[in-house]
């Protein structure tokens, strides 16, 4: 049987401040390409790999280059700012971006298939866990762009609805590693926990500096002021280093420690294919899923036309490393299985909680947020004389 040849763009910033996660994403995607090639089938996929190096202008330029060369499907992007930068390109050329990362929601482009977690699959389960088991006073830190702004907003509203409050929010530029003032403010405020939306090198530096500062004040950071994230993954634990790796909470749809035949096979194949790392992550799995679903949709569609492939991917099901994954035909986001994990000294996550079955994506939080925005409480009294 003749195989249809199809070139697929693969666009991850394998250099730059968040390159560790992006390299694991590239690995996840390449592993899927390899398995698809080995399995045969009617569609032969050829990955065309590009690296924007974390530069937004490069994301746009490379997207136009790929789409202009006739490529209709690109698996890529990690940050929301890069995704939003390239969406107009995909709309102009009517291509499909297969976006394989968790994100803050409130988007549903006809030219994007979202295989990472929507906010009801990461931040809301985390709020539930923290409010019921850790505390209700939060200090939020994040990288200064839309992911942290919006994820903090959702977090703040959900926590406030449970009677909690956000003491403060602090934002730093992507790649910034100067945390003295922020950490000093956290230690002065003594929140029940820190909600972290820092990414890349900023996050790793924060985890190290915060652990050291707590230690300096005689605090057991992991127990006294734990840090909770929706981004933290295994390759990042390795970057944080042994002194500060354990005791961090993470809300994710995938941990590489999951005990299932599908995950065992995935982890084994990944480690064999990429012995030099970085190790797999939730975003690597989402990239793997994206390529697998793309291949299945291409096979079913019999063409690489974006509209036809988009229609074909609706209701596609895959037994992924995290469990069953399928694409919701209304939102083109994925049904995924939320989990809460805690990092251990071995660089893995111990799974503390998990949903019984995959959860429907709710990118606009239509099913899981109040009708009216919760009014933030401002202080009744204010300091007029210090």
Interface residue list for another protein (CB under 8 A): 87, 91, 106-110, 330-331, 363-367, 369-373, 375
Q: How far is the CB of 247 from another protein (least distance, A)?
A: 35
Distance CA 386, CA 384 (A): 7
Is 161 in contact with 372 (CB distance < 8 Å)? no
- Cβ proximity to another protein: between 321 and 363 the closer is 363
**Hey, what are 219's tokens?**
């605090």
Residue number with CB closer to another protein (357 or 372)? 372
**Looking at beta carbons only, is 87 or 182 nearer to another protein?**
87
- Nearer to another protein among residue 85 and residue 107 (C-beta): 107
Instruction: In whole angstroms, give the CA distance from residue 133 to residue 93.
Output: 48
Distance CA 81, CA 96 (A): 17
Sequence-ordered list of residues with C-beta below 8 angstroms from that of 267, at least 6 positions apart, any chain? 256, 280, 321
Q: What is the DSSP string of 90-112?
A: HHHHT-EEEE-S--------TTE
Q: Which is nearer to another protein, 89 or 258 (CB)?
A: 89
Q: Considering beta carbons, is residue 41 or 106 the nearer one to another protein? A: 106
Structure tokens at 17: 């401040």
- Tell me the closest approach of the beta carbon of residue 326 to another protein, in angstroms: 17
DSSP SS3 for 159: helix
Q: Which is nearer to another protein, 106 or 149 (CB)?
A: 106
Minimum distance, C-beta of residue 226 to another protein, in the bound complex (Å)? 29
- Rg of the Cα trace of the chain? 21
**DSSP-derived pairing of the beta strands 165-172 and 193-197:** unpaired
Question: At a CB cut-off of 8 Å and minimum separation 6, what does 363 contact?
Answer: 105, 106, 107, 108, 114, 118, 119, 331, 333
Provide, rounded to whole angstroms, the least separation between the CB of residue 75 and another protein: 21
**18: Cα within 13 Å, side-chain hemisphere:** 28
Shorter beta-carbon distance to another protein: residue 161 or 242: 161
d(CA 196, CA 240) in angstroms, rounded, equals 14
Pair 351, 361: CB distance under 8 Å: no
Return the biggest CA–CA distance within the chain.
82
Q: State the nearest-atom distance from the C-beta of 369 to another protein, in Å.
A: 5
Q: Is the peptide bond before 278 cis (omega within 30 degrees of 0)?
A: yes
């Amino acid at each position: 049987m003749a195989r249809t040849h199809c070139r697929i763009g693969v666009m991850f910033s394998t250099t730059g401040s968040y390159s560790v996660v992006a390299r694991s994403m590239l690995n996840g995607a390449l592993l899927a390409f390899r398995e698809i090639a080995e399995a045969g089938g009617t569609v032969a996929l050829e990955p065309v790999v590009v690296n924007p190096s974390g530069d937004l202008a490069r994301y746009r330029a490379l997207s136009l280059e790929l789409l202009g060369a006739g490529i209709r499907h690109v698996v890529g992007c990690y940050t929301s700012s890069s995704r939003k930068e390239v969406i107009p390109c995909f709309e102009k050329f009517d291509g499909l971006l297969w976006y394989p990362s968790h994100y803050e929601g409130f988007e549903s482009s006809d030219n994007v298939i979202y295989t990472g977690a929507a906010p009801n699959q990461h931040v809301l389960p985390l709020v539930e866990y923290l409010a019921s088991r850790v505390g209700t006073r939060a200090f939020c830190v994040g990288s200064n762009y839309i992911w942290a702004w919006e994820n903090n907003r959702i977090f703040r509203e959900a926590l406030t609805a449970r009677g909690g409050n956000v003491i403060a929010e602090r934002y730093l530029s992507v790649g910034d590693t100067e945390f003295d003032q922020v950490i000093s403010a956290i230690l002065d405020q003594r929140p029940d926990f820190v909600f972290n939306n820092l990414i890349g090198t900023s996050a790793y530096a924060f985890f190290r500096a915060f652990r050291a500062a707590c230690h300096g004040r005689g605090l057991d950071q992991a127990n006294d002021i734990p840090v909770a994230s929706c981004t933290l993954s295994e390759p990042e634990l390795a970057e944080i280093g042994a002194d500060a790796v354990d005791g961090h909470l993470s809300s994710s749809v995938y941990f590489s420690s999951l005990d299932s035949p599908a995950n065992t096979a995935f982890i084994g194949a990944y480690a064999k294919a990429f012995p030099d790392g970085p190790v797999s992550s939730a975003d690597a799995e989402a990239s793997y899923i994206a390529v697998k679903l793309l291949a299945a949709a291409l096979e079913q569609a019999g063409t690489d036309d974006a509209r036809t492939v988009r229609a074909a991917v609706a209701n596609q099901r895959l037994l992924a490393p995290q469990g069953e994954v399928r694409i919701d035909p209304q939102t083109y986001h994925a049904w995924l299985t939320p989990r809460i994990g805690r990092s251990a000294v071995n660089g893995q996550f111990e799974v503390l909680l998990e949903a019984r079955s995959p959860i429907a994506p709710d990118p606009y939080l239509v099913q899981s947020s109040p009708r009216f925005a919760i009014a933030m409480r401002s202080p009744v009294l204010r300091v007029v004389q210090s």
